[in-house]
Amino acid sequence: MKNFKVKLALIILVALNGCKSDNKSKTVADAQLEINFPSFNKDSAFQYVRQQIMFGPRIPNTPAHQKCADWFIEKFKSFGIEVIDQKFQVKAFDGTLLNGRNIIAQINPDIKRRLVFAAHWDTRPWADSDPDPANHKKSFDSADDGPSGVAVLLELARAIKTQSIKGLGIDFILFDLEDYGQESNNESWGLGSQYWSRNPHVSGYRAQYGVLLDMVGGANPGFYVEDYSMYFAKEVVEKVWNLAASEGYGGSFPKTSGGGVMDDHYFVNEIAKIKMIDIINRPDGKRFPYYHHTLKDNLNVIDPYTLQMVGKLLIHLIYREEAGTI
Ligand SMILES: [Zn+2]
């Protein structure tokens, strides 16, 4: 049954091409069939989640936080990618002076046409949504909240470097200080993305659009459409969700609203005026996963197949953008 569907799709493509037989130039469908996509390794991505957790909670102003940032830089450099370590200080809602580091890795920095992919890497210092109030001041591993998105980006970077991309620039931004916020205080979240949006790593930085990943490692995800993404970047949402459907991921990418989430993409849209969408797990279309900001957000919740689905989707997006077939 599966094979039948694939063959049928190919027949339709061939039939469509046949209609345009006087046109000697390649059709879009031809070009699509010829793209070789580098492979995204789910086990490698899973290891990148594990390695972040092994540093301990990446809470700002702690040695684990510093060591993990150094490791990101090393990792990108090992793939042969240039890195900018954007250090900054900012005051948190509680008056604490936080030492932040946004890590920016650039592929083809000289190309004007760019896409940007982002995730936050810091760990929230408190498990303040834990069902047991006694845990509210405790730290937690935070595997899905931060590391999953970063892991997908690292594996994406590795994969892209195995098959050079010529017509497109790609930036990866690991935002710091996303998760040090206070409920009902919007501006207290996303401190790293707010800083970067006001002080981009390249003055006058522009990108065609951006994709933020947050909590992209849980089993049976519900990547519902996030409201701010729709408000600021409707056409990017449509492109990515349509691509997901055409790749067979429609069940995990419902085309209905999962509500609005105050996340780094909000500030990139609002301050830097760069269109950025958020791929974020809202399993029931309304709420975060059950383990969000609790002691249960640890390696056990990470499903390598979810990391792979998101990674493959982005690889297809990137290479089809480069080929001009999306
Ligand atoms: Zn969080």
And the tokens for 163?
A: 């098959």
55: three-class secondary structure by DSSP: coil
Centroid of ligand 1 to alpha carbon of 186 (angstroms): 13
pLDDT at 304 > cutoff 70: yes
Centroid of ligand 1 to alpha carbon of 203 (angstroms): 29
Q: What is the mean pLDDT of residues 24-42?
A: 71
Centroid of ligand 1 to alpha carbon of 292 (angstroms): 7
And the tokens for 16?
A: 């469509």
Centroid of ligand 1 to alpha carbon of 319 (angstroms): 30
Q: What is the mean pLDDT of residues 121-134?
A: 98
Write down the pLDDT at residue 28. Answer: 54
Write down the pLDDT at residue 33. Answer: 60
Q: What is the mean pLDDT of residues 63-72?
A: 98
Question: Is the separation of the CB atoms in 179 and 124 below 8 Å?
Answer: yes
pLDDT at 308 > cutoff 80: yes
Q: What is the mean pLDDT of residues 30-54?
A: 89
In the predicted model, what is the mean pLDDT of the chain? 92
Which residues are placed with Cβ below 5 angstroms of ligand 1, an ion? 124, 145, 179
Centroid of ligand 1 to alpha carbon of 320 (angstroms): 31
Q: Note the pTM of the prediction, 2 decimals.
A: 0.90
pLDDT at 4 > cutoff 60: no
Q: What is the mean pLDDT of residues 298-319?
A: 98
User: How many CA atoms lie less than 13 Å away from 310 in the CB half-sphere?
Assistant: 34
**One-letter amino acid identity for 270?**
E
Number of neighbouring beta carbons within 10 Å of residue 40: 23
Centroid of ligand 1 to alpha carbon of 199 (angstroms): 23
Write down the pLDDT at residue 1. Answer: 30
Split at pLDDT 50, 70, 90, the class of 31 is: low
Q: What is the mean pLDDT of residues 262-280?
A: 98
pLDDT at 291 > cutoff 80: yes
pLDDT at 15 > cutoff 70: no
State which fold the 37-323 domain adopts: Aminopeptidase (3.40.630)
Split at pLDDT 50, 70, 90, the class of 164 is: confident
Centroid of ligand 1 to alpha carbon of 123 (angstroms): 7
Q: What are residue 277's DSSP bridge partners?
A: 211
Write down the pLDDT at residue 35. Answer: 87
